[in-house]
Amino acid sequence: MISGVINVYKEPGYTSHDVVAKLRGILKQKKIGHMGTLDPNAVGVLPVCLGKATKLCDILSEKDKTYEATLLLGTETDTQDTTGQVVNQASKEQLDKLTEDEVFKTVKSYIGDYEQIPPMYSALKVNGKKLCDLARAGIEVERKARTVKIFSIEIEKINLPYV
Protein backbone atom coordinates (compact mmCIF):
# COMPACT_ATOMS: atom_id res chain seq x y z
CA MET A 1 0.00 0.00 0.00
CA ILE A 2 1.28 3.46 -0.93
CA SER A 3 1.19 6.15 1.78
CA GLY A 4 1.70 9.86 1.27
CA VAL A 5 0.15 13.04 -0.08
CA ILE A 6 -0.03 13.90 -3.77
CA ASN A 7 -1.36 16.99 -5.51
CA VAL A 8 -3.72 16.20 -8.37
CA TYR A 9 -4.63 18.78 -11.00
CA LYS A 10 -8.43 18.60 -11.16
CA GLU A 11 -9.98 19.57 -14.46
CA PRO A 12 -13.52 20.98 -14.86
CA GLY A 13 -16.32 18.43 -15.02
CA TYR A 14 -14.83 16.08 -12.43
CA THR A 15 -15.87 15.92 -8.82
CA SER A 16 -13.34 15.42 -6.05
CA HIS A 17 -14.91 11.99 -5.56
CA ASP A 18 -14.27 11.20 -9.26
CA VAL A 19 -10.57 11.95 -8.74
CA VAL A 20 -10.40 9.63 -5.70
CA ALA A 21 -12.28 6.87 -7.55
CA LYS A 22 -9.91 7.13 -10.51
CA LEU A 23 -6.87 6.94 -8.22
CA ARG A 24 -8.31 3.90 -6.43
CA GLY A 25 -8.49 2.15 -9.79
CA ILE A 26 -5.01 3.21 -10.90
CA LEU A 27 -3.28 2.44 -7.60
CA LYS A 28 -5.41 -0.61 -6.72
CA GLN A 29 -5.95 0.56 -3.16
CA LYS A 30 -9.00 1.63 -1.23
CA LYS A 31 -7.49 3.87 1.47
CA ILE A 32 -7.53 7.22 -0.37
CA GLY A 33 -9.11 10.53 0.63
CA HIS A 34 -9.04 14.15 -0.47
CA MET A 35 -8.51 17.35 1.48
CA GLY A 36 -11.56 19.48 0.78
CA THR A 37 -14.13 19.27 -1.97
CA LEU A 38 -13.73 21.36 -5.10
CA ASP A 39 -16.76 22.32 -7.18
CA PRO A 40 -17.15 20.09 -10.25
CA ASN A 41 -16.48 23.13 -12.44
CA ALA A 42 -13.47 24.28 -10.41
CA VAL A 43 -10.00 23.85 -11.81
CA GLY A 44 -7.06 23.48 -9.50
CA VAL A 45 -4.95 21.42 -7.18
CA LEU A 46 -6.73 18.79 -5.09
CA PRO A 47 -4.43 17.36 -2.38
CA VAL A 48 -5.07 13.63 -2.04
CA CYS A 49 -3.95 11.44 0.88
CA LEU A 50 -2.96 7.83 0.36
CA GLY A 51 -2.77 4.96 2.86
CA LYS A 52 -1.65 5.95 6.35
CA ALA A 53 -1.60 9.62 5.30
CA THR A 54 -5.42 9.63 5.12
CA LYS A 55 -5.29 10.47 8.84
CA LEU A 56 -4.05 13.91 7.72
CA CYS A 57 -7.13 14.67 5.61
CA ASP A 58 -9.27 16.14 8.39
CA ILE A 59 -6.34 17.98 9.96
CA LEU A 60 -5.05 19.58 6.78
CA SER A 61 -8.39 20.35 5.12
CA GLU A 62 -9.12 22.90 7.84
CA LYS A 63 -5.93 24.87 7.12
CA ASP A 64 -5.72 28.16 5.22
CA LYS A 65 -6.02 27.96 1.43
CA THR A 66 -5.24 30.16 -1.53
CA TYR A 67 -7.67 30.64 -4.40
CA GLU A 68 -7.48 32.36 -7.76
CA ALA A 69 -10.71 33.52 -9.34
CA THR A 70 -12.16 35.76 -12.01
CA LEU A 71 -15.14 37.88 -10.98
CA LEU A 72 -17.86 38.73 -13.49
CA LEU A 73 -19.59 41.86 -12.21
CA GLY A 74 -23.19 42.73 -13.01
CA THR A 75 -24.52 39.22 -13.58
CA GLU A 76 -26.49 37.25 -11.01
CA THR A 77 -27.27 33.56 -11.56
CA ASP A 78 -29.41 31.06 -9.72
CA THR A 79 -26.29 29.05 -8.80
CA GLN A 80 -24.09 32.04 -7.85
CA ASP A 81 -21.54 31.00 -10.49
CA THR A 82 -21.26 31.14 -14.27
CA THR A 83 -22.90 27.72 -14.78
CA GLY A 84 -26.35 28.89 -13.67
CA GLN A 85 -29.22 30.65 -15.37
CA VAL A 86 -28.99 34.44 -15.36
CA VAL A 87 -31.64 35.86 -13.01
CA ASN A 88 -30.50 39.49 -12.97
CA GLN A 89 -28.27 41.48 -15.30
CA ALA A 90 -26.90 45.00 -14.83
CA SER A 91 -27.39 47.32 -17.77
CA LYS A 92 -24.48 48.55 -19.86
CA GLU A 93 -25.11 52.01 -18.40
CA GLN A 94 -24.80 50.68 -14.86
CA LEU A 95 -21.57 48.86 -15.68
CA ASP A 96 -20.16 51.91 -17.47
CA LYS A 97 -20.60 53.91 -14.24
CA LEU A 98 -18.29 51.53 -12.34
CA THR A 99 -14.80 52.79 -11.72
CA GLU A 100 -11.74 50.68 -11.09
CA ASP A 101 -11.29 52.52 -7.79
CA GLU A 102 -14.81 51.52 -6.63
CA VAL A 103 -14.18 47.92 -7.63
CA PHE A 104 -10.81 47.90 -5.85
CA LYS A 105 -12.30 49.33 -2.62
CA THR A 106 -15.26 46.93 -2.69
CA VAL A 107 -13.14 43.84 -3.28
CA LYS A 108 -10.66 44.87 -0.57
CA SER A 109 -13.57 45.41 1.88
CA TYR A 110 -13.89 41.61 2.10
CA ILE A 111 -10.54 41.28 3.85
CA GLY A 112 -11.04 40.12 7.43
CA ASP A 113 -13.78 38.13 9.14
CA TYR A 114 -17.32 38.10 7.86
CA GLU A 115 -20.38 35.88 8.06
CA GLN A 116 -21.12 33.87 4.93
CA ILE A 117 -24.25 31.85 4.24
CA PRO A 118 -23.14 28.91 2.08
CA PRO A 119 -24.84 28.92 -1.33
CA MET A 120 -27.29 26.14 -2.15
CA TYR A 121 -25.07 25.16 -5.06
CA SER A 122 -22.15 23.99 -2.95
CA ALA A 123 -20.74 20.64 -1.91
CA LEU A 124 -21.40 21.39 1.77
CA LYS A 125 -23.48 18.67 3.40
CA VAL A 126 -26.57 19.26 5.52
CA ASN A 127 -28.02 16.18 7.22
CA GLY A 128 -25.76 13.99 5.06
CA LYS A 129 -26.93 15.47 1.73
CA LYS A 130 -24.94 17.81 -0.50
CA LEU A 131 -26.57 21.21 -0.86
CA CYS A 132 -26.03 21.15 -4.64
CA ASP A 133 -27.94 17.85 -4.92
CA LEU A 134 -30.82 19.30 -2.92
CA ALA A 135 -30.78 22.47 -5.04
CA ARG A 136 -30.92 20.46 -8.28
CA ALA A 137 -33.96 18.66 -6.85
CA GLY A 138 -35.61 22.04 -6.24
CA ILE A 139 -35.23 21.84 -2.47
CA GLU A 140 -33.87 24.79 -0.53
CA VAL A 141 -32.85 24.33 3.09
CA GLU A 142 -31.86 26.80 5.75
CA ARG A 143 -28.10 27.26 5.99
CA LYS A 144 -26.37 28.72 9.00
CA ALA A 145 -23.92 31.54 8.44
CA ARG A 146 -20.30 30.60 8.99
CA THR A 147 -17.43 32.86 9.86
CA VAL A 148 -15.04 33.18 6.94
CA LYS A 149 -11.70 34.95 7.07
CA ILE A 150 -9.93 36.41 4.08
CA PHE A 151 -6.34 37.27 4.91
CA SER A 152 -5.52 39.10 1.71
CA ILE A 153 -6.76 39.75 -1.81
CA GLU A 154 -4.58 40.65 -4.75
CA ILE A 155 -6.22 42.09 -7.84
CA GLU A 156 -4.14 41.08 -10.84
CA LYS A 157 -6.19 42.72 -13.57
CA ILE A 158 -9.36 44.76 -14.02
CA ASN A 159 -11.03 44.61 -17.42
CA LEU A 160 -14.62 45.49 -16.49
CA PRO A 161 -16.90 43.68 -16.07
CA TYR A 162 -14.15 41.13 -15.32
CA VAL A 163 -11.88 41.40 -12.28
Catalytically annotated residues: 39
d(CA 30, CA 24): 6
CB 131 within 8 Å of CB 120 = yes
Give exposure, 95-123, as e/b (b: 16+ Cβ within 10 Å). eeebeeeebeeebeeeeeeeeeebbbbbb
Closest CA to 114 of 161, 146, 75: 146
- Report the distance separating Cα 129 and Cα 156, nearest Å: 37
Q: What is the mean pLDDT of each run of 10 residues along the chain (163 residues)?
A: 90 88 92 83 87 85 83 89 88 92 93 90 83 86 91 93 92
Regarding pTM above 0.85, the answer is no
